[in-house]
């Protein structure tokens, strides 16, 4: 399953790159793109574990940039 999520208060391109790298390493993630310009994240993961993977992604985003929120 592939979904696109809006990110609020993503403040820098470096942080977006760090998020993308960290999320790509989460087990179950098959594709991730975090775009600073569009303020969006595209996440692809297996349907059976998608919700669990998404929760881990949200935690990684909060760890890297605490003010950034994911519109789910």
CA distance 68 to 46: 25
Pick the CATH number of 2-71 from 3.50.50.60, 3.30.70.100, 1.10.1740.10, 3.20.20.70: 3.30.70.100
Average pLDDT, the chain: 97
Convert the pLDDT of each residue in 13-48 to its tens digit: 999 999 999 999 999 999 999 999 999 999 999 999
Q: What pLDDT was estimated at residue 7?
A: 97
Give residue limits of the domains in the chain: 2-71
**H or E, element range at 19:** helix 13-24
Strands of the sheet containing 2-8, edge to edge, are: 29-35, 40-45, 2-8, 69-71
Q: What pLDDT was estimated at residue 32?
A: 98
């Amino acid at each position: 399953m592939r979904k696109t999520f809006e990110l609020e208060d993503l403040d820098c391109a470096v942080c977006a790159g760090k998020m993308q790298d960290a999320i790509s390493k989460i087990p179950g993630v098959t594709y991730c793109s975090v775009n600073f310009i569009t303020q969006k994240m595209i996440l692809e993961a297996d349907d059976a574990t998608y919700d669990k993977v998404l929760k881990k992604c949200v935690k990684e985003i909060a760890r890297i940039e605490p003010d950034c929120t994911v519109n789910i």
